[in-house]
Amino acid sequence: MKNRAYSLLTVKSVSEGGRRIKGIATTPAPDRDGDIIEPLGVTFTNPAPLLWQHDISAPVGRVWFDQPTAESVTFEAELPVVAEPGPVRDRVEEAWQSVTSGLVTGVSIGFRPVSWSYLDSGGVRVDACEVFELSLVTIPANVEATIQRVKSLDATGLAAKGKKPGASANAPHAAGKDKMKGNGMSVKQQIAARELKRKSAVDAMAAIADAAAADGDRDMTAEEVASFDEHSAEVEAIDAGLSRLKSLDAMQVAKGAVAAVLPAGAGRGPGGSGRAPVVPGVAKAAEPEPGIRLARYARCAALARKTGSDAVAIAGDLYGARDPQVVTMTKAAVGAMTGASDPALMANVGGIADFVDFLRPQTIVGRFGLDGVPALTEVPFDLPVLMETAPVGAAWVGDGKAIPMSKGSFDRETLGKRKIAALTAVTLEQLRDNSAATERLIRNQMALAIIQCQDGTFIDPTSAGNAARPGSILNGVAALPSAGNDLAAINQDIYALMAKFSAANLSIGSGVWIMSARLALRLSLMKNEFGVRIWPEMHMGGGKLEGLPVIASEHMGDNVALVAAPEVYFADEGEVEIEISTEASLK
């Protein structure tokens, strides 16, 4: 495996005044060595050196890589104007003139592979890599060579998915019938790429709105309105395309759920007719969306209470063979109509656990321990836990000498059980509406109420603990005043928080930023004088700030917290209880 990946240089723009080049560094298409670099697995540190022909002794400028997307990693490079005559000036001038004249038409990234797999075609699929340089390189780009290379992409792309090119003469790609092939991506990959493109357009709209709001909450200018409307139209077009792709994806899933059962040795029909014998298909019910089973159980229980009917019978009529786990849940809990009252129901992973798995990643607490975010320290309920407040000491000792004793400080804490309760109102018409939209509505209403309550308690500095609820991790913490909103002030705030973190003898590597999604979006859009993003790993959903993971939450308000994850003790048994009532009072 070579630690270089080649592609034809796509120059988006060239500026003589600043000697800047914008282009595409790499794409998921196979390079001339047959290797595939996954753009979303690319990491880098900006700025990186821009080299001439991969010669580490011949730098010609600097390069800034943009946030990777599923389709590519783009870049902006700058070649300096060297006034003093000499070999450096000659080298930079040669590189600049070679690019602008079209003599050099290729770029190549130098990288260190982190994870990879071998392809049937003989190449390598690099799923994750660290890029440390970009080079301007000379790659032949004659028409015939380009055509042959494009033709070879189909076979290599299929091999990357574990398929043998030409394995079947009846395969759709061999007959040219793969209408959704696009640029070689699967339907799911196309969906992911379009969703990233949609997010970029929405982020641009938000940036325009934020700029107007920051400037005295003024109305948008004519240019801003035109740009906003252009992005809005782009989002509408993407949504229409996404709808078609998702429909196709659902059809493919449904098709994959039906398997034909053939007897041993079955093949061609008698007489060599070429027809396979007709056999019945065995259909497997599609799995419902995460968290839907608990909503289905709640719906059955509510209908039973409202109509005086049998909950098990309702579950059988509504779902039956389509989702037998809902019937099992209803049978297990039909006596008391509660999810926590029967061990058999709690053991049913298709209901309670499914809803908990749906709920947790949407909460601040649930995002710890996922996607590179350090985990909280998990402890059991109602058992004493010793928490070290001052460390014990250590000392060098000679052979056979006594070990000196030192005294540490400990607190004895017990995490008692607390419960979040929420009321969700659903009409009888909604309960009777046997549609996926109703099930999602019930599920989302239950989840949203819990998320708002839990997140607010976890990060609200004014929330002190009592017998009914735990206290906030920020309660009693002295807040640092912000230095301001510009780049220098933000950097000052980041340093102040990290310094306080370090002064408390906390490991910086355990730190996690918690901030609002609005602030995360603003940081992700900040650029330097070259138009390059200051924090390219930041996005509206979080990302990384100065190497530490970010959890973005709409419930954070204007505060920013730097949390030492292992210092937060957390207990959760994942229990969910549902009670049905036909009456309620509002205060």
More confident residue, 31 or 269: 31
Assign 3-class secondary structure to 239-257. Answer: HHHHHHHHHHHHHHHHHHC
Measured between alpha carbons, how far is 502 from 514 in angstroms, rounded to an integer? 17
Residues 224 and 363 in one domain: no
Confidence of residue 351 (pLDDT cuts 50, 70, 90): low
Q: What are the Cα distances from residue 514, in Å, to 13, 333, 544?
A: 38, 39, 11
Residue 427 per-residue DSSP state? -
Please indicate, yes or no, if residue 30 is contained in any of the structural domains. Answer: yes
Please classify residue 13 by burial: count the beta carbons closer than 10 Å to its beta carbon, then call 0-12 exposed, 13-18 middle and 19+ buried: exposed
Instruction: Report pLDDT digits (tens) over 35-81.
Output: 788 889 899 999 999 999 888 888 999 999 999 988 888 888 898 98
Domain boundary residue, one of 239, 255, 271: 255
Mean pLDDT of the chain: 74
Please indicate, yes or no, if residue 180 is contained in any of the structural domains. Answer: no
Confidence of residue 271 (pLDDT cuts 50, 70, 90): very low
Highest mean pLDDT among 149-153, 177-181, 412-416: 412-416
Residues 156 and 302 in one domain: no
Tell me what pLDDT residue 148 has: 27
Residues 441 and 422 in one domain: yes
Residues 563 and 574 in one domain: no
Of the candidates 42, 11, 208, which has an alpha carbon nearest to the alpha carbon of residue 111? 42
Confidence of residue 92 (pLDDT cuts 50, 70, 90): very high
Of the candidates 39, 22, 357, which has an alpha carbon nearest to the alpha carbon of residue 183? 39
Please indicate, yes or no, if residue 172 is contained in any of the structural domains. Answer: no
Residues 96 and 240 in one domain: no
Query: Tokens 């640029």, residue?
Result: 183
Please indicate, yes or no, if residue 265 is contained in any of the structural domains. Answer: no
Contact 99, 19 (CB under 8 A): no
Confidence of residue 253 (pLDDT cuts 50, 70, 90): low
Give how many domains the chain has, as a whole number: 4
Please indicate, yes or no, if residue 170 is contained in any of the structural domains. Answer: no
Residues 502 and 424 in one domain: no
Residues 421 and 548 in one domain: no
Residues 320 and 376 in one domain: yes
Instruction: Report pLDDT digits (tens) over 154-181.
Output: 333 334 434 333 333 333 333 333 333 3
In percent, the amount of the chain with pLDDT more than 70 equals 72
Measured between alpha carbons, how far is 422 from 166 in angstroms, rounded to an integer? 58
Tell me what pLDDT residue 426 has: 79
Please indicate, yes or no, if residue 221 is contained in any of the structural domains. Answer: yes
Domain boundary residue, one of 121, 142, 160: 160
Measured between alpha carbons, how far is 550 from 373 in angstroms, rounded to an integer? 8
Tell me what pLDDT residue 513 has: 92
Of the candidates 244, 225, 222, 243, which has an alpha carbon nearest to the alpha carbon of residue 233? 225
Task: Report the range of poorest mean pLDDT among 140-149, 297-306, 373-382, 444-453.
Answer: 140-149
End-to-end CA distance of the chain: 69
Measured between alpha carbons, how far is 181 from 187 in angstroms, rounded to an integer? 8
Residues 506 and 451 in one domain: no
Highest mean pLDDT among 185-199, 452-466, 544-558: 544-558
Confidence of residue 225 (pLDDT cuts 50, 70, 90): confident
Residues 553 and 586 in one domain: no
Tell me what pLDDT residue 334 has: 57
- The answer on pLDDT for 100 being more than 50 is yes
Confidence of residue 354 (pLDDT cuts 50, 70, 90): confident
Tell me what pLDDT residue 11 has: 55
Contacts of 467 (CB under 8 A, 6+ apart): none
| 73 phi-psi bin (left φ>0, alpha ψ -120 to 50, beta other) | beta
More confident residue, 149 or 423: 423
More confident residue, 359 or 536: 536
Please indicate, yes or no, if residue 513 is contained in any of the structural domains. Answer: yes
Highest mean pLDDT among 107-116, 144-153, 446-455, 513-522: 513-522
| 285 phi-psi bin (left φ>0, alpha ψ -120 to 50, beta other) | beta
pTM of the model: 0.47
Tell me what pLDDT residue 389 has: 61
Q: Looking at residues 414-419, what average pLDDT do you find? A: 74
Please indicate, yes or no, if residue 270 is contained in any of the structural domains. Answer: no
User: DSSP letters of 80-123?
Assistant: ----S-SHHHHHHHHHHHHHHTTS--EEEEEEEEEEEEE-TTS-
Residue 519 structural domain: 487-567
Residues 305 and 453 in one domain: yes
Residues 326 and 437 in one domain: yes
Contact 164, 120 (CB under 8 A): yes
